[in-house]
Amino acid sequence: MGCGASSAKAACSPDATSTKTASKSAGSRAPNEPRDPELLQLLEAHGLVEQLPDLQALGVSKPAHLSDLLVEDLEEVGLSRVQIRQLQRAVAQDPTDRSSPSAVSPLRLRENGTSAVSPQELPQTPKEFAQHSGIVSERKGRDTTHTTPVRVTSKQEDVPRSAATDAHKDEHEAPLDGIRAGASSSGSGRFAQGYSQSASSSVGGLGGRHDVKPKGAPSKKPPLYKQTQKVEKVQRADANGASCLPPADQSSRDPGTAQRHLPVLACEGVRQEPPHRQASQADVGEAKGHLGGRETHDHEQIREQRADSEDSRASSVGFDVTLLPEVTLPQLKGPQVHEANKEEGTPLLMSRQDPFGAGPQPNVGRDAPAPSAQLPPAVRQRLEAREEARRAQRSRDVSSDREVSERVRSPPRREPRSTSERPSVTRVHTGPRAASLGAASRQMFNKNELRAAHRALFTDAIAKYQAKLEQTTADFVVRSPSALRSSRVVDVYVRKRPLFPHEETKRNDFDVVSVLPRSSHSSPTQVILHNCLFQADLRTPVIHHLRFAFDHVFDDEVSDEHVYENAAMSLVESAKTGHANTILMFGQTGSGKTHTIKAIERLAAHDLFISGHRLSLTLSVVELRGSHCFDLLLPNLPELRLRELREQQSAFIAEGAHELHPQTPEDLVAAFEAARQRRATSATEANDESSRSHAICSIRLFERSGGSPAGSLTLVDCAGTERRKDSANHSKERQQEGAEINASLHALKECIRFMSKRQRIPPHAFRASALTKLLATSLCSETRLSVICTIAPAASDTEHTLSTLRTGATLRIKGSDQRGESDVQKEVLQNILTKQRDLHPRQWSPQQVQTWLTELEDGNFADVSSSLPTEFTGQMLVRLSEGHCVQLCGSEGRGRLLFDLLHKAIRGSDQSR
Ligand SMILES: Nc1ncnc2c1ncn2[C@@H]1O[C@H](COP(=O)(O)OP(=O)(O)OP(=O)(O)O)[C@@H](O)[C@H]1O
């Protein structure tokens, strides 16, 4: 505490009256008071006789009084820490002092406000005691024996040992003894500071019991600053079985006399109980009695063990230093404490956040000294300074936060501006969003919008490229059909449909697909997709000319018959000779799959019956919608189950599919048409009559004579792959349909990838969709498969066309380039912005310099252009001096004229900017 003997008494006493009395009492011992032989003996034993007068001046007349003094007081007298320590032990072990029956605690006297009260004069019943103390409020109600807790300051050493023992024997007999036994030297110097006692339990007749520590226990205490944590530990240990708190309602009745609770920690440290220790033990004992408590023997052991361990570490004096602050009881309700004990088993006192960050602290009352007050002054000052700095920092933070929040709530007012003054951008982003402002303010362009916007630019470039291609086709390395055939997985054909007028007019679309070669005497096998793009600056157009090679590429002008003859007829013939063949239509929605397969069916129907009466055929048509399979040959469209054939691995059939036996080509075509009519279609953005399902027509051929199967032809019309824009305005069901279509086509592509890589498709790839299940036999190597990829030529369909071409190319060549294209040429077009503006002469390219010179003055300077090096740029041109010009032109007059014209052009360009 750092206060002197008397000041400590004043500071630590709970009420002013008792404090004054205590001070007076302490100071009433005259230095020339008759010397106590025991005191003299004690001081002699420690070589401290010389200090006797000083000690007497401090009010010490017997050994027990030593315990009333602060360590600082003893140091002032001239005692070293070691001597104080030894003295402390001696006093604590002095049995003679304890056994003095006549001894009355000076503290008690002080507390009671009398200078000398003999034990006989003390109240003998709780009620008397309460009335005697003068600070007890009458308790109304049933339990009138309970009083407001009283601070009792009688010293243990003043209490006869027999009385304490009696209290043990019979708690109800001697409440006062119990008080005495539990009384502490509270408020009397540092030795005893803070040790006050709850007398309520003993006053109420329940307490009086206390534990006496066996003699011989070590009595060292740790240094003060080390004991803060220990306080809590010991308190918890003591609290396990009992609460030393009195019923809260007692203390709450009189807040003005709120009792300061005696910390249990005070029990620690001395072998033969010093007053505070006994007081606290009495407290515990009383509280246990009050709560129907248990034996404290275990806790005693714990404390002893701790004291032992601390003893080995402690080096400073721990004579009777108070560590815990006094606790104001009204804040704690008895039942709460009881519950806390039951639940956690430890906390007697509710903890609060330690202001110094030293962990949980006991819950102290408002008028109780803060825990830091118990620390040494130097430590306390340090902590207080630190806390002050923290508080200042916190207040600074709070004020800055408040400023910010006020700014947010009420932004600074601005004078309203007129409409004309208003900025074009009204929304201002601040803070983190400002980072995205650039992106937000930047206009986002759609690829197709850019294509359409610069249609003329791109079509010109494509036309020039096509013209150039006509000349250089021979230079382009084209794999011969025979070379391709050797590595063929399947036959892949590409059919380009014409660009519809409405696409050109409405969407400003243009044709970006070129089929090569264009000569009539060789069949086209290449297709070039002109992918028109803009570079990242959105100013420089660029065209990627992607070239793909296929077995045959059908231009938009070719007839259906031509397509059939080149892509399907061979398979029809092959089927008639006993082979299994499949023609698969693949492509984006609206690209002409149905259109093409319709023509093939019609033409194949005739071819199939050409063989006369030798063959008969059956037809089944099923529709795959998602994972469902429906029979298209029956009007009610029954759903069919896909069953895996046992005899053949990864072969599925639509079980129970209806089979027709058309006898004539017309019957067959009529059956095809009927099935197509039943097929689910709907109008989409890309196609007015878009197929929303996959259709599989299976034609099985039989020998009429024996009925044995001759061959088969499977015609598959896939639903078109869709992009988001194709289904942007679709209903939820339609979008779901589109998702299922894309999923099944994705499964088909996976099978195709397997085919191109290792030929054998694993079963799990077939099982991924109903489409691949039914196509499993067709995708096997024994079956001849022709895939006709249909593509739309519109620039807005570029991405989709590219995907189709890549899939087809992958399918065609085993181990082909992963992306499918065999050649890519990138053509960067002139920057659209620089073209619109007049280029500054220094930006001219060598060609532009040549052109300018050639055209200047009607060709008057054409000879100059030929004399310049080919890499002569505009940058070099603008640096020409007059002398250079004269030199180049060969005459002074022409030279000066050239110089003037050049600088006229430069000035004109500067002015135009
Ligand atoms: N080569 C072509 N010549 C003329 N018109 C064509 C050609 N190919 C397709 N068309 C027309 O384009 C439109 C869409 O064709 P089709 O229905 O065959 O496309 P699709 O690929 O089957 O589309 P979806 O996958 O949505 O069913 C039809 O009106 C069709 O007549």
d(CA 315, CA 304): 17
Which tokens go with 381?
């000052």
Residue nearest to atom 1 of ligand 1 (CA): 497
Residue with the two structure tokens 């992306």: 819
Look at ligand 1, atom 8, and give the residue with the nearest C-alpha. 592
- Distance (Å, rounded) from C-alpha 101 to C-alpha 11? 30
- Whether 597 has a pLDDT exceeding 90, the answer reads yes
Show the beta-strand stretches assigned E in 792-878. 823-828
Look-up: residue for tokens 């180049």? 888
Query: For a pocket test of ligand 1, which of 687, 716, 771 has the largest count of ligand atoms closer than 8 A to its C-beta?
Result: 687
SS3 284: helix
| 541 in Cβ contact with 457 (< 8 Å) | yes
Known binding residue 592? Answer is yes
Q: Give, as one character, the DSSP assignment of residue 375.
A: S
338 in Cβ contact with 244 (< 8 Å): no
What separation in Å is there between the alpha carbon of 590 and the centre of ligand 1? Answer: 5
Cα 99 from chain centroid (whole Å): 71
Q: Ligand 1 mean position to 769 CA, how many Å?
A: 25
Q: Ligand 1 centre from 445 Cα, in Å?
A: 29
Cα 471 from Cα 218, distance rounded (Å): 112
Q: Looking at ligand 1, which atom is closest to the CA of residue 595?
A: 18
The label of the residue with tokens 């995907």 reads 803
Closest by alpha carbon to 447, among 544, 531, 546?
531
What is the whole-number distance in angstroms between the Cα of residue 776 and the centre of ligand 1?
A: 27
List of domains in the chain: 5-379 (no CATH), 446-556+808-829 (no CATH), 558-789 (3.40.850.10), 837-912 (1.10.150)
- pLDDT for 826 equals 81
Across 606-610, average pLDDT: 85
Q: Which atom of ligand 1 is nearest to the CA of 556?
A: 1
Work out which ligand 1 atom sits closest to the CA atom of 689: 17
Distance of alpha carbon 819 from the chain centroid: 38
Q: Which token pair is 692?
A: 């929303």
Distance CA 623, CA 777 (A): 17
Distance, in Å, from the CA atom of 695 to the CA atom of 780, rounded to the nearest integer, reads 19
Residue (of 492, 553, 498) closest to 527 by Cα position: 553
Q: Which residue, by CA, sits nearest to atom 16 of ligand 1?
A: 592
283 pLDDT exceeds 60? Answer: no
Q: How confident is the model at residue 405 (pLDDT cuts 50, 70, 90)?
A: low
* Residue 3 tokens, joined: 């206060």
pLDDT at 698 over 70: yes
Using CA positions, which residue lies closest to atom 11 of ligand 1?
A: 592
- Residue 148 is labelled as binding a ligand: no
Under the banding of pLDDT at 50, 70 and 90, the label for residue 51 is confident
User: Which ligand 1 atom minimizes the distance to the CA of 591?
Assistant: 21
> Across residues 281-302, what is the average pLDDT?
43
Please indicate if the annotation marks 162 as binding a ligand: no
CA 691 to ligand 1: nearest atom: 27
Average the pLDDT over 411-416 and give the result.
46
Q: Residue 36 forms beta bridges with which residues?
A: none
Q: Whose CA is nearest to atom 23 of ligand 1?
A: 590
- Whole-number Å distance, alpha carbon 689 to ligand 1 midpoint, is 9
- Asked whether residue 593 is marked as a ligand-binding residue, the answer is yes
Q: Which atom number of ligand 1 is nearest to the Cα of residue 684?
A: 26
Q: Best mutation site among 594, 601, 726 for ligand 1, i.e. most ligand atoms within 8 A of its Cβ?
A: 594
pLDDT at 851 over 70: yes
Centre of ligand 1 from the C-alpha of residue 579, in Å: 30
Nearest Cα residue to atom 10 of ligand 1:
592
Residues forming a β-bridge with 823: 547
Cα 550 to averaged position of ligand 1 atoms, centre (Å): 21
Distance 499 CA to ligand 1 centre (A): 11
For residue 551, the CA-to-ligand 1 centroid distance in Å is: 22
Please check whether residue 184 is in contact with residue 153, taking contact to mean a CB–CB distance below 8 angstroms: yes
**Band of the pLDDT at 724, cuts 50, 70, 90?**
low
Nearest CA owner, ligand 1 atom 14: 590
Ligand 1 atom nearest 717 alpha carbon: 22
Q: How far apart are CA 185 and CA 329, in angstroms?
A: 20
Q: What mean pLDDT, rounded, does the chain reach?
A: 66
Distance 498 CA to ligand 1 centre (A): 10
Residue 769 to residue 338: CA distance in whole angstroms: 69
Q: Does position 790 have pLDDT exceeding 90, yes or no?
A: yes
The pLDDT > 70 percentage for the chain reads 52
Ligand 1 atom closest to the Cα of residue 720 is 25
511 CB contacts (<8 Å, ≥6 apart)?
459, 462, 499, 793, 794, 795
3-state helix/strand/coil string of 493-513:
EEEECCCCHHHHHHHCCCECE
Nearest CA to ligand 1 atom 26: 690
Three-state DSSP at 167 gives helix
Q: Which helix (H) or strand (E) holds 489?
A: none
Q: How far, in Å, CA of 862 to CA of 852, rounded?
A: 9
Atom of ligand 1 nearest to the CA of 496: 1
Predicted confidence at residue 397, as pLDDT, reads 65
Give the burial string for 828-848 (b: 16+ CB within 10 Å, else e). Answer: ebeebeeeeeeebbeebebee
pLDDT of the residue at 33: 52
Give the separation between CA 436 and CA 32, rounded to whole angstroms. 90
430 appears as a binding residue in the annotation: no
What number does the ligand 1 atom closest to the CA of 597 have? 18
Nearest-angstrom CA–CA distance, 766 and 492: 21
Give the whole-angstrom CA distance, residue 907 versus residue 883.
Answer: 20
**pLDDT higher for 416 or 108?**
416
User: ipTM of the predicted structure?
Assistant: 0.98
3-state helix, strand, coil in the chain (%, to 5): 50, 15, 40
Ligand 1 center–CA 797 separation, angstroms:
14
Q: Whose CA is nearest to atom 9 of ligand 1?
A: 592
Tell me the best of 496, 497, 691, 803 to mutate to test the pocket of ligand 1, counting ligand atoms within 8 Å of each CB and taking the most: 497
CB atoms within 10 A of CB 396: 10
Q: Which atom of ligand 1 is nearest to the CA of 495?
A: 1
Tokens of 820: 């499918």
Q: Which residues contact 611 (CB under 8 A, 6 or more apart)?
A: 576
List, chain by chain if needed, residues with CB within 6 Å of any ligand 1 atom: 497-498, 587, 589-595, 687, 689-691, 719-720, 790
**Residue 143 and residue 851: Cα distance in Å, rounded?**
119
Whether 116 and 104 have beta carbons less than 8 Å apart is answered as: yes
User: Residues 67-86: what's their mean pLDDT?
Assistant: 78
Lowest mean pLDDT among 17-21, 84-88, 481-485, 890-894: 17-21
**Lookup result for tokens 């850019």:** 450
The CA 563 to ligand 1 mean position distance, Å, reads 14
pTM of the model: 0.49
Residue in 556, 558, 595 to alter for ligand 1 test, most ligand atoms within 8 A of Cβ: 595
Dihedral pair phi/psi, residue 246, rounded to 5°: -80, 170
What residues have CB less than 8 Å from 393, skipping those under 6 apart? none
Give the model's confidence band at 5: pLDDT under 50 very low, under 70 low, under 90 confident, else very high. Answer: very low
Find residue 529's DSSP bridge partners: 513, 546
CA angle 90, 267, 252 (to 5 degrees): 135
Between 510 and 84, the more confident residue is 510
**256 assigned binding-site residue:** no
pLDDT(436) > 80: no
| 357 CB-near residues (< 8 Å, 6+ apart) | none
Which pLDDT tens digit goes with each residue over 539-585? 788 899 998 888 899 999 899 999 999 999 999 988 888 888 899 99
Strand locations in 759-838, DSSP E?
Answer: 784-791, 823-828
Q: If we measure between CA atoms, which residue out of 478, 510, 186 comes closest to residue 324?
A: 186
CA atoms within 13 A on the CB side of 696: 26
Nearest CA to ligand 1 atom 31: 595
Neighbours of 205 (CB within 10 A): 18
**pLDDT band at residue 716 under the 50/70/90 scheme:** very high
Ligand 1 centroid distance, CA of 687 (Å): 7
pLDDT bin (cut points 50, 70, 90) of residue 843 is confident
Find the 659 Cα to ligand 1 centroid distance in Å: 28
Q: pLDDT grade, residue 621 (50/70/90)?
A: very high
| Preceding amide of 517 cis, omega within 30 | yes
Mean pLDDT of 184-204: 37
pLDDT at 118 over 60: no
CA of 748 to the centre of ligand 1 (A): 21
